Amino acid sequence: MSYISISKKDKEEMRAKIGVSCIDELFSSIPENVKRKKPLNLPHPLSELELKRYFEEKANNNQYSEYLSFLGGGAYNHFIPAVVDYLSQRGEFLTPYTPYQPEVSQGTLQVIFEFQTLICQLTGMDVANASLYDGASGAAEAVLMAHRLKGKSKILVARTLHPQYREVIKTYTKDLGLTIEEIGYLESGKLDFNDLRRKFDEETFAVICQSPNFVGVVEELETISKFAHDRQVLSLAVVAEPVSLGMIEPPGKFGVDIVAGEGQSFGIPLGFGGPYLGFMACGRNFVRQFPGRIVGQTKDGEGNRGFVLTLCTREQHIRRGKATSNICTNQNLCALRATIFLETTGKKGLKELAFQNLQKSHYALEKFCKIKGIKRKFEGPFFNEFTLQFSKPWSEINKSLRKKKMIGGLGLEILYPELKNCALFCITEMHRKEDIDKLAAGLEEATS
Amino acid sequence: MYPKDFYYTKDHEWIKLEGDLGIVGITDFAQKQLGDVVYVELPKVGTNLESHQTIGGIESVKAVSDVYSPVSGEVREINEELNDSPELVNNDPHGKGWIIKIKIKDKSKVEKLMSVSEYEKFLEGLNE
């Protein structure tokens, strides 16, 4: 977008037009006692060259790229092919804001339609929306949707659902008078069925869990869905690491009613907090209670294939307070990147990517478990993340790894006080064998 | 055109007494105004409604409109056929296109609604 400055003359003309003699007059409605009298304490302006040097110096203080990171826990370090940046930064895609008018936005609408199609294929569901803010808000929307469908007041939430997702669910449902009950996990890391049975009651409307879950373990979605359906309640599943869907059967195959997840793994960089990409999908029968934008395929007056927003009566701009959600937008640029990523990676490519993640993480686990003072915490099957328990506090081990420029795993004690000396490790295609071996050596030294 | 034993509201709903229950739908005038109905949002059985409270929504190709309950009472039955065939509201608004059956709290309130002749006069007034 071009930058158009305004001259002194422009300002004078504008003031003359509206009959204002100085700019302060425009702020006359603000009480004097709250106005700032002194000028802001800002440094002198810099020339472009000076400014560039200033920020270059600051940027050089960043040491992140020198570090080898094994963090996961909802944010995943995956390769982003150059084609994703190149295509997503084309002006036609990058600059329009809320590009939903069919008359001028066929390209963008087609991308969203393709994104929805890809999400349906990945999750095994009938309908996907145009995306949501992130995995956490997606999970919360799934809970709200289940509540609209079933009424009642109690939601059973797996303790191994991402802790931040659980927080967002609490925030979103705060004023609905819902009871949120946590379902514990077994020694294997899987959902505790006895606990689920104990906490289920007449007021329950849905069960929500994550797979692979926060401690890395793949859940038995089929059994959980069957439990829910036998009791006429809904089964909701969250996928925080969608690369896993390259190998694991989609939640739709296991009878899950609503799937929500995080799409950051698909071509979206780790950006110290975002933007991320929420996705959501459900069965055809629930579409009227589905939140968010949906793009549909149609024909124009001449019979050509075209795309439009559809089922808008669920949405806020039409239904106001009776809308299914207050989200009236989507995460379009991120959805575009995910679409380009998935379409260029392809079915085979995604499978290969998932396979590499699986193989490398299993190699790593085997290697780490040979080290004295380290044991695998959960026996359940895992994809690219696993939990290790150490004979020493994690903080000590972490400190030693940092000295060797490694960001080891994610210490779990702060999120799960019961997981003493435990940390979560994530291995992706980005890690070479020598990287894993380097971490193994670092862990060996730290634990000895 | 408009059944004689029905009572009518200014929002173009009708109610017909059937024992303790009242059958509720929208009038032929309303369905014509809406155009082709594509979806009817129904309440849950057991919902307690006050008169003038929203029963649900009717979505047509032109608009979404709320349907209001003509009287206070409890929803006893909903017309589930509308889930698959919302067009019944267009084709047979005073018959198969009914929306809910309601257990009426106070029957005397029904007689305060418009009779068929009053409703027809009301419609004439709208046309002028």
Nearest to A318 among B41, B44, B64 (CB): B64
Q: Which CATH number belongs to the domain containing residue B46 in this structure?
A: 2.40.50.100
CB atoms under 10 Å from CB of A39, counted, come to 6
Say yes or no: A73 and A100 in one domain.
no
* pLDDT at A96 > cutoff 90: no
Chain B CB contacts of A319 under 8 Å are: 64
pLDDT at A101: 87
B4 has a chain A CB within 8 A of its CB: no
Say yes or no: A160 and A297 in one domain.
yes
B73 found inside a domain:
yes
A29 found inside a domain:
no
B1 found inside a domain:
no
Q: A219 vs A136, A199, A213, CA distance in Å?
A: 19, 19, 7
pLDDT at A104: 87
pLDDT, tens digit only, all 128 positions of chain B: 899 999 999 999 999 999 889 999 999 999 999 999 999 999 999 999 999 999 999 999 878 889 999 999 999 999 999 999 999 999 999 999 999 999 999 989 999 999 999 999 999 998 76
pLDDT band at A63 (very low <50, low <70, confident <90, very high): confident
User: Which position has the higher pLDDT, A167 or A65?
Assistant: A167
CB A331 within 8 A of CB A404: no
B65 has a chain A CB within 8 A of its CB: no
Query: Which domain range does residue A412 map to?
Result: 66-79+346-447
Chain A CB contacts of B41 under 8 Å are: 288
pLDDT at A147: 96
A20 found inside a domain:
no
pLDDT in tens, A331-375: 999 999 999 999 999 999 999 999 999 999 999 999 999 999 999
Among A308, A341, A374, which residue terminates a domain?
A341
B48 has a chain A CB within 8 A of its CB: no
pLDDT band at A316 (very low <50, low <70, confident <90, very high): confident
Q: Which residue of B has its CA nearest to A285?
A: B83
* pLDDT at A75 > cutoff 90: yes
Q: Which residue of A has its CA nearest to B60?
A: A313
pLDDT at A51: 95
A381 Cα to chain B: minimum distance (Å): 42
pLDDT at A319: 81
Beta-carbon separation of B44 and A151 below 8 A: yes
Cα(B107)–Cα(B21) distance, integer angstroms: 9
| Chain A to chain B Cβ contacts (< 8 Å) | 10
CB atoms under 10 Å from CB of A391, counted, come to 12
Cα(A235)–Cα(A158) distance, integer angstroms: 12
Query: Which domain range does residue B46 map to?
Result: 6-127
Say yes or no: A141 and A93 in one domain.
yes
Of A158-162, A326-330, A379-383, least confident by mean pLDDT is A326-330
Beta-carbon separation of B57 and A318 below 8 A: no
* pLDDT at A1 > cutoff 70: no
B108 found inside a domain:
yes
pLDDT (mean) for A262-274 = 92
Say yes or no: A201 and A226 in one domain.
yes
Interface test with A, best of B44, B61, B64, B65 (most A CBs within 10 A): B64
Chain A CB contacts of B59 under 8 Å are: 313
Maximum Cα–Cα distance across chain B: 41
A285 found inside a domain:
yes
A19 has a chain B CB within 8 A of its CB: no
pLDDT at A4: 79
* pLDDT at A406 > cutoff 90: yes
Say yes or no: A325 and A392 in one domain.
no
Among A341, A360, A394, which residue terminates a domain?
A341
Of A53-57, A438-442, B17-21, least confident by mean pLDDT is B17-21
Indicate if ipTM > 0.85.
no
CA A125 to centroid of chain Cα atoms: 19
Q: Which residue of B has its CA nearest to A313?
A: B64
Say yes or no: A207 and A193 in one domain.
yes
Nearest to A138 by CA among A100, A171, A168: A168
DSSP code string of A271-316:
-SS----EEEEE-GGGGGG--S--EEEEE-TTS-EEEEE--GGGSH
Amino acid at A233: V
> Under 8 Å CB-to-CB from B100, ≥6 apart: which residues?
B23, B24, B42, B43, B55, B69, B75, B76, B77, B78, B79
Domains of chain B: total = 1
Chain B CB contacts of A322 under 8 Å are: 57
pLDDT (mean) for A56-82 = 94
Interface test with B, best of A310, A312, A313 (most B CBs within 10 A): A313
Say yes or no: A283 and A307 in one domain.
yes
A288 has a chain B CB within 8 A of its CB: yes
* pLDDT at A2 > cutoff 70: no
A322 has a chain B CB within 8 A of its CB: yes
CB A172 within 8 A of CB A199: no
pLDDT (mean) for A302-322 = 88
pLDDT at A76: 97
pLDDT at B61: 81
B40 Cα to chain A: minimum distance (Å): 10
A294 found inside a domain:
yes
pLDDT (mean) for A32-44 = 90
DSSP code string of B15-68:
EEEETTEEEEEE-HHHHHHH-SEEEEE---TT-EE-TTSEEEEEEESS-EEEEE
Beta-carbon separation of A322 and B57 below 8 A: yes
Q: Which CATH number belongs to the domain containing residue A389 in this structure?
A: 3.90.1150.10
B79 found inside a domain:
yes
B116 Cα to chain A: minimum distance (Å): 32
A113 Cα to chain B: minimum distance (Å): 22
Among A318, A341, A364, which residue terminates a domain?
A341
pTM of the model: 0.87
A407 Cα to chain B: minimum distance (Å): 53
Beta-carbon separation of B59 and A319 below 8 A: no
Burial degree of A34 (CB within 10 A; 0-12, 13-18, 19+): exposed
B92 has a chain A CB within 8 A of its CB: no
A149 Cα to chain B: minimum distance (Å): 10
Say yes or no: A305 and A176 in one domain.
yes
pLDDT at B25: 97
User: Which position has the higher pLDDT, A95 or A306?
Assistant: A306
A95 has a chain B CB within 8 A of its CB: no
Say yes or no: A142 and A115 in one domain.
yes
Nearest to A319 among B39, B44, B64 (CB): B64
B57 Cα to chain A: minimum distance (Å): 10
Q: Which CATH number belongs to the domain containing residue A232 in this structure?
A: 3.40.640.10
Interface test with A, best of B36, B40, B41, B55 (most A CBs within 10 A): B41
A319 has a chain B CB within 8 A of its CB: yes
| DSSP letter assigned to residue A377 | S
